[in-house]
Amino acid sequence: MDADIVIDARGLEPPEPMVRTMAALEQLGDAQKLLVLLPREPYPLYRALEINGFSWQTECRPDGTVAILIRHQPQ
């Protein structure tokens, strides 16, 4: 997954992954993509992305990592 910003949050305790992701989203340019690597599906994050106008793709990797590629929804 090609991204401009990558957050590897697999070793972080909650709520740090959500805090870091939301902070990165505030800085995300219209054409940029954010990749977040997590140890499990972040269902609360999906709702926050929907509310704030982002789209995402989720990939569950063989090692158990959940990779989420996030971008602004097209206008």
Q: Where does residue 9 rank: exposed (0-12), middle (13-18), buried (19+ CB within 10 A)? A: buried
pLDDT tens digit string along 14-26?
999 999 999 999 9
Give the chain's mean pLDDT. Answer: 96
pTM above 0.85, yes or no: yes
Contact 55, 73 (CB under 8 A): yes
Task: Give the 3-state secondary structure of residue 51.
Answer: helix
Task: Give the 3-state secondary structure of residue 21.
Answer: helix
Element containing residue 43 per DSSP (H, E): helix 43-51
